Amino acid sequence: MVIDKRIYNAVKRGNADYNIRFNDFEKLINDLGFVFQRQDGSHKIYHHPVILENMNIQPVKNMAKGYQVKQLRGFIRDYNL
């Protein structure tokens, strides 16, 4: 899979946490190796084979939630994704 460097770098830099489209965010999660597990309402649960913690995401209108972008940034940093 080809990672969208524009979105990846925006997440990694942390200067656009509240300005990332949900669809782009979800694609990045998939491209980083997270696997969709289940959906409960608007909440989508993803799991990564090397991370014990699940990634729970849901949109606000069509945008990713800032705290979820921050969580992904922590995973990128901590697990060298």
Confidence at residue 28, expressed as pLDDT on a 0 to 100 scale: 97
Average pLDDT over residues 49-59: 95
pLDDT digits (tens, 9 = 90+) for 10-46: 999 999 999 999 999 999 999 999 999 999 999 999 9
**For the chain, what are the domain ranges?**
5-79
How far is residue 78's CA from residue 81's CA, in Å, rounded to a whole number? 8
- Domain 5-79, CATH 1.20.120 — does that match? no
52 — pLDDT class (breaks 50, 70, 90): very high
Interhelix angle 22-31/66-79, nearest 10 degrees:
20
Exposed, middle or buried by CB within 10 Å (0-12, 13-18, 19+), for 43? exposed
pTM of the predicted model as reported, rounded to 2 decimal places: 0.94
Q: Which two tokens stand for residue 54?
A: 């699940």
What's the Cα-to-Cα distance from 63 to each of 21, 49, 68, 77, rounded to whole Å? 4, 26, 11, 22
